[in-house]
Structure 1
Amino acid sequence: MPFNRGVDVAKRINELTAEVTRLNDLYYGAGDSPLPDADYDALKDELAALVAEHPELEPAGSPLGKVNAPAELTGPTVRHARPMLSLAKATSEEQIRTFCERFGGQVFRVSEKLDGLSLSVVYADGTLDYVATRGTGAVGELVTAKVRHVIPGLPAEIDAPGRVEVRGEAVMLRSVWSAYNEAHPARTLTNPRSGAAGTLVLKDPEAAAKARRLLRFFAFGADRDGAAVEVPAGFETVAQFVCADAAEVIDAVHAIGARRDGLDYDIDGAVVRLHEPAAFDAAGFNSAEPRGAIAFKYPPEEKLTTLLSVEWPVGKIGRVPPRAKVAPVFVGGVTVENITLHNPRLIRERDLRIGDTVAVVRRGDVIPFAGRSLPERRDGTETEIVPPAHCPSCGSELEVRGTGEERWCLNLQCPAQATRRLMHWASRQAADMEGVGDTWIEKLAEDGVLRNRSDFYDLTAEQLLGYERMGEVSARNMVDSIAASKGLGLRRALIGLAIPMASEGTAKRLCLAGYESIEDVAAATAEDLVAIRDIGPKAAESIVAFFARPEVRRELAALRERGVHLDVLPEDRPVDAAAADDSPLKGASVVITGAFTDPRSGAKISRPDVTRLVEQAAATTASSVSANTDYLLTGDNVGAAKTGKAEKLGVAVVEQDRLWRWLTEAGVI
């Protein structure tokens, strides 16, 4: 709560001191982060502002001017050879310019500021000696045995004599965090940042490793016997830019921020520091911060707001998930008003209530969700969230399924399900009816004009002109868009059918496995499908059960009668192995980055389409560059992070002109 000038200043300073200290103890001591980062920063900023006005009121235990740390370290400790300090922060370009102007004529380095746990990794004559947390800045807690279990990629040996210290950040990848929470719904981790800190305070790291609660370590600096050196081979490093002046520094800060949503790990800012080690050391430091570095903080991805209401919409396959409205809040660069509450079990276990103060999380393109509530802020007016017993659309009794206690409507004739299925069929990843909006689908379904997917192809412009606010141009665009969608092919048809447990990847794998038509897939047995890579027994059984339904068979026949193409398209077929024999892509592991232009049409081509072409040429795609990567395939506007890592690991960088030649030689295009 912002400070009210009518409140006693000394009292407020003491309150803030106690709260910031408590939060430091929770995060750095117990791995728990009850407040979003932005709200923690706001409390500390308020305390700093009050103390600046009234320095005589600062208490002896003030957390200001110190490294963020727990009150005491509970495990074995070690004194750092050099203090591990916090960084001063900036939130505006002007603050960055001021910092750069302070060091006129110097070269700067800008790197990602990872949102994890700082570690010092020390080697003696090439062998790992110990790993320590930042701790108090001067003294760290030893966590060597723990990291051997939970950071499997940390090198046990390096090719360097003497005492080498590597500093960096231990993070939990977003994908690891999501997978862990999905597998442990009763013990979910609030966010990747807390997941990283909490993992290193666990008493049983071996159990954490077995549960796949693993971390990655990214190095940002190293020294040998006190002198700065390059980070040794074998370590992953953060993306870095070397800049000559403030303008280049600001461009680099924005470039890192632009890639933020596409990363598999959280960053909350960019670190700007003097590039030359001697200049950095000469700048010196104060009690808690080096003077030669500053951290630019991006807009927060987690903020507090009020949970206003909960709705239970019915999905295309009958799932009835909780969706909440919240008081508008700016988080992750956008204003959020609607969030997901995941499932009824998490609502119950997190004790979420209407009227609660909740932490809203938004990362990348992930649907914003409520990470947790703050019960201590309740005033007694909050109300319980009660899952429905009957379908909000058709009134059928809902079935409770799975560990998430999700509600499902089993009525295949449920109007809401039917409408959602129609919207999904018309969506871009399926039939791609660009001129058909969800509002019109809802209206036409409500009037009984659209009941099945095949009904789209019976619509006429004359029929649509009978509706208010439907003009001739809009009616013709809608009909033309529907007609153009008839050539969607097997892969996109499988996506559009919304088969339970069958993802877009499943549709692609069925095409690459050699299935020629929708009827071929419908005739497959569970045994046939399980034989395909990455299609498990449950997905196979779901596909077989879906196509066994008489109404599905009738709908496929109706689509065929209306000229809808349900056979595999050439671009979705498996590549001729003989044709690919001479292609460097055959059997290669590749990473794709940048923007691509189709050489056949000159139009932009999406990353998923490039991926599909490359996989047709018998390559395997991955999301990040590693020592196992054969090629980094690059389009336009490629950032320095992946190319720099490829260069460091000796991975060949292939520009799109050469890629198109390889795909042509392989017979893919």
Structure 2
Amino acid sequence: MPFSASGRSLLAPAAPSFRIGGVPPKRSPEAARARIDELAAEVRRLNDLYYGAGDSPLPDADYDALKDELAVLVAEHPALEPADSPLGRVNAPSQLTGPTIRHARPMLSLAKATGEEQIRAFCERFAGQAFRVSEKLDGLSLSVVYRDGELEHVATRGNGEVGELVTDKVRHVIPELPARVDAPGRVEVRGEAVMTRSTWTAYNDTHPERPLTNPRSGAAGTLMQKDPEAAAAGGRLLRFVAFGADRDGAAIDVQGLGIEAAAQVVCADADSVMKAVHAIGARRDGLDYDIDGAVVRLHDPAAFDAAGSTSAEPRGAIAFKYPPEERLTKLLAVEWPVGKIGRVPPRARVAPVFVGGVTVENVTLHNPRLIRERDLRIGDTVAVVRRGDVIPFAGRSIPEDRDGSEQVIAPPERCPSCDSELEVRGAGEERWCLNLQCPAQATRRLMHWASRAAADMEGVGDVWIEKLADDGLLRRRSDFYAITAQQLVGYERMGEVSAANMVAAIERSKGLGLRRALIGLAIPMASEGVAKRLCLAGYERIEDLMAATAADLEAVRDIGAKVAESIVAFLARPEVRADIEALRTHGVVLDVLDEDRPVDVAAAGDSPLKGATVVITGAFTDPRSGAKVSRPEVTRLVESAGATAASSVSASTDHLLAGADVGASKTAKAEKLGVEVVDQARLWAWLADAGVT
């Protein structure tokens, strides 16, 4: 949360107070001048942070609230608007630091609408015209220019008239943007560079010491990196989605250039426009990229040009901004659990609140820096935000609701589990426990090893792992395989049958293979994707990886220097090597399984699976033998047929492949997003057509 020099939150105006989104009270000219200067300076600072440094300390809604208040005050006191006011101009940093280029035509911002009446008023102003409605992607605007088919330059929006050249950076971090198009003359494509949610999550999983706040700031920050090749190698890859193109000034079809275009709907009137706006909002949560609204613009390029523009906005377009999914509740307490690799993140307990379709009682506060900057306190009224399936977080507090009983949140200086001194790391000022013998870390590593993604010890729950660890039966991963039914029977509520079942589940888990073993080891910075890439790269045994150098691992696609160094350092630890040797002694499979080896799609025939993105759910049975087929084997078969398997249903999913005993949530989400649900009878027919069964 931004603060003035006095320390007062800029989102909490001086008395009499008003809530965010309300109308500020009338002020004297002296008070109005002070507040206008304060707000203008803060908006300029935030513009510099986001558009200049790729940092987004505030959610859009909070930024908009500051700018809206400034606009209201300036409208009341126009003579007090400062010469360098951020109003009436394109959102931009005060200075462009890199090489620049002048745009052939200005790149402007869009007018904002937050209510249906504003959209209807816009449509009435252009009655008789057709409108185009598309997603408003939440990223960084780019201009991509080709000359006689060759990529000439890529520039940011900059100040609208002049943009910063980022051509070389884009070649690395947006690899899917074509270097050549089949079109003569000068072609300019305008669109948005976004970081997908899945890329953002994967990056944060492998860079816990310096996580990206959100995909939006991740996209902006990536294009500010001085070493784009290193950024790309570290997983900071972006996606470019175009919303328009022209050749020598005449509008052309974007998709004909081989560039991804934003989905759009052509509408005849305000009713159909609002229907399209609501349809985009309904599928918002299922997308793999963030959108913060829908863009409504005149469909005819000539009509759009004829409508003209102000100094900052085209008159022929407007953006409908969706409200974030947030509810107010009370922040009751803050806990600091120790993670399996030593990170000690803040986790808040809040009074139960229904938001985003679920009842929320625990939320993340991200990191200590965010707590400090937003001045979050125990006892505060806070806005809990939940978008899609992401973990809910406390977006902001409501300072004007305070009664003086609130408590400052103080990050711990010592580990809550082992009492060793914590290290402060990264821009987020995160706390880390470096004691490898920390009991909390050890127990969480054991829980992670037994989890479904790793050894998949069905029925061996966290409560039992914690009990066995407390009693000394479990200290390292290999200890699971030495547990006997006789040892378990002595515990309350553990009879002979339950004990035998648990031991049998542990025994079955021995066949996990190299990929899932790497996941279970919880190597810092090495995600599930890294484990899969190592298997696909040809590593057959865990001992092969233990013998590899950082340079060897860097040669694997999408594995950067930091990840490679982390893997080598982890596997070199004496206690890790001893545990791996003990796992081998117990008969645990640490070699690559056939299902994790590279698949050959060259010989696959044609089928609806080729080139499709699919999600696999439920239980599958071979129709010829009646034998059960494991999920990894089904994944391998569909990948052999040319499909890409994803973990969750989104708008980019082509088919949900549903076996038996499928839960209602995934099929309901598929129906909501218009994703085809394919039963296993049809799947086996497709696989047979592809020649992979």
Scaled by the length of structure 1, the TM-score of the pair is 0.66
Residues 1:491 and 2:512 are matched in the alignment: yes
Q: CA deviation at 1:165?
A: 2.7
Which residue of 311, 321, 325 maps to 1:297? 321
How far is 1:269 from its partner? Answer: 3.0
Structure-2 separation of matches of 1:331 and 1:22: 35
SS of alignment partner, residue 264 of structure 2: strand
Question: Quick check: 1:66 aligned with 2:66?
Answer: no
Change (3 A) 1:324 1:619: same
Asked if residue 254 in structure 1 is aligned to residue 281 in structure 2, the reply is yes
C-alpha displacement of 1:426: 4.7
Report the counterpart of residue 116 of structure 1 in structure 2: 139
Q: Quick check: 1:275 aligned with 2:299?
A: yes
Aligned residues: 608
What is the CA deviation profile of residues 478-514 of structure 1, one whole-angstrom value per residue up to 9, with x for unaligned ones? 9878866764461279549933538656876899899
Change (3 A) 1:22 1:633: closer
| 1:324–1:606 CA distance, 2 compared to 1 (3 A) | farther
Which stretches in structure 1 are left out of the alignment for 5+ residues?
Answer: 374-378, 625-630, 644-653
In the alignment, what sits opposite 2:485?
Answer: 458
User: Cα distance 1:461–1:393, how it changes in 2: closer, same or farther (>3 A)?
Assistant: closer
CA deviation string 1:259-284 (max 9, x = no partner): 33x34xx4433323343434544555
Q: Match for residue 634 of structure 1?
A: 655
For residue 433 of structure 2, the aligned residue among 395, 407, 422 is 407
Decide which of 332, 339, 342 is 2:364's aligned counterpart.
339
**How far apart, CA to CA, are the structure 1 residues paired with 2:331 and 2:84?**
36
**CA offsets, 1:405-442, max 9 Å, x none?**
9434344xx65455435533553334656666545654
Which residue number in structure 1 is paired with residue 451 of structure 2?
427
Where do 1:515-530 residues align within 5 Å? 526-527=546-547
Q: Deviations over 1:591-615 (max 9, x none)?
A: 523566766389x999977534334
Offset of 1:44 from its aligned partner? 1.0
1:2 is aligned to 2:26: no
What is the CA deviation profile of residues 301-350 of structure 1, one whole-angstrom value per residue up to 9, with x for unaligned ones?
9999999987654445xx332121458599995868543767xxxx7xx6
Q: Distance in 1 between matches of 2:533 and 2:148?
A: 49
Q: SS where residue 549 of structure 1 aligns? A: helix
1:41 to partner: Cα distance: 0.9
Cα distance, 1:442–1:10 mapped onto 2, change above 3 Å:
same
Aligned mates of 2:143, 2:596 — CA distance in 1: 50
| 1:305–1:456 CA distance, 2 compared to 1 (3 A) | farther
One-letter amino acid of the structure 2 residue matched with residue 19 of structure 1: E
Whether 2:578 is the aligned partner of 1:549: answer yes
Aligned to 1:320: 342
Give the direction of change, closer, same or farther, for the CA distance of 1:455–1:365 in structure 2 (3 Å limit): farther
Q: Which amino acid aligns with 2:32?
A: A
Q: 1:584 aligns with which of 578, 586, 605?
A: 605
Aligned partner of residue 119 in structure 1, secondary structure: strand
Moved more, 38-47 or 302-311: 302-311
Describe the SS at the equivalent of 1:121. strand
Q: Distance in 1 between matches of 2:300 and 2:63?
A: 33
5+ unaligned residues in a row in structure 2: which ranges? Answer: 1-10, 18-24, 378-382, 398-403, 658-668
Q: Would the aligned equivalents of 2:334 and 2:348 in 1 still touch at CA under 8 Å?
A: no
Give me the whole-angstrom Cα distance separating, in 2, the residues matched to 1:570 and 1:72: 54
Preserved contact between residue 307 and residue 355 of structure 1 (Cα < 8 Å): no
Distance 1:251 1:606, change over 3 A: farther
Q: What is aligned with 2:685?
A: 661
2:193 corresponding residue in structure 1: 170
- Which deviates the most, 527-536 or 14-23? 527-536
Decide which of 230, 234, 242 is 2:265's aligned counterpart.
Answer: 242
**Counterpart code for 1:20:** V
SS of match in other structure, 2:297: strand
Q: Is the 8 A contact 2:511 2:589 kept in 1?
A: yes
Q: Is the 8 A contact 1:121 1:130 kept in 2?
A: yes
Aligned equivalent of 2:163: 141
2: CA distance, partners of 1:239 / 1:193: 17
Contact 1:305 1:327 in 2 (8 A): no
Larger mean CA deviation between 362-371 and 26-35 belongs to 362-371
- The 1:247–1:553 alpha-carbon spacing in structure 2 relative to 1, beyond 3 Å, is same
Instruction: Give me the whole-angstrom Cα distance separating, in 2, the residues matched to 1:183 and 1:496.
Output: 14
Alignment identity in percent?
Answer: 51
Which residue is equivalent to 1:627?
none
Taking the aligned partners of 2:103 and 2:599, their CA distance within structure 1 comes to 59
Distance 1:400 1:620, change over 3 A: farther
Provide the C-alpha distance between the structure 1 equivalents of 2:148 and 2:543, rounded to a whole number of angstroms: 64
Deviation at 1:222, TM superposition (A): 1.3
Q: How has the CA–CA distance of structure 1 residues 478 and 619 changed in structure 2, closer, same or farther, with 3 Å as cutoff? A: farther
Displacement of 1:242:
1.6
Q: Distance in 2 between matches of 1:460 and 1:550?
A: 21
Question: Displacement of 1:111 after TM fit?
Answer: 2.8
CA distance in 2, matches of 1:405, 1:442: 24
Alpha-carbon distance in 2 for matches of 1:74, 1:13: 27
Alpha-carbon distance in structure 1 between the residues aligned to 2:274 and 2:612: 31
Cα distance in 2 for partners of 1:606, 1:297 equals 44
Residues 29-65 of structure 1: CA deviation (Å, up to 9, x unaligned): 5555443322211101222334455667655554333
The residue matched to 1:288 in structure 2 has which SS?
A: coil
Sort the Cα spacing of 1:638 and 1:409 in 2 relative to 1 into closer, same or farther, 3 A.
Answer: same
- 1:376 is matched with which residue? none
Q: 1:96 to 1:492 in 2, by over 3 A?
A: farther
Partner SS for 1:271: strand
Q: Is the 8 A contact 2:149 2:185 kept in 1?
A: yes
Displacement of 1:229:
1.6
Contact 1:308–1:326 (Cα < 8 Å) also in 2: yes
Q: CA deviation at 1:220?
A: 1.1
8 Å CA contact retained: 1:575, 1:668: no
**Structure 1 residue 240 displacement after superposition:** 0.3
Are 1:42 and 2:65 an aligned pair?
yes
2: CA distance, partners of 1:152 / 1:496: 29
Contact 1:326 1:337 in 2 (8 A): yes
Separation in structure 2 between the aligned mates of residue 249 and residue 136 of structure 1, nearest angstrom: 31
Q: Distance in 2 between matches of 1:243 and 1:354?
A: 43
2:281 aligns to what SS in structure 1?
helix
Q: Is the 8 A contact 1:361 1:369 kept in 2?
A: yes
Q: Distance in 2 between matches of 1:393 and 1:92?
A: 50
Give me the CA root mean square deviation. Answer: 6.2
Change (3 A) 1:585 1:384: farther
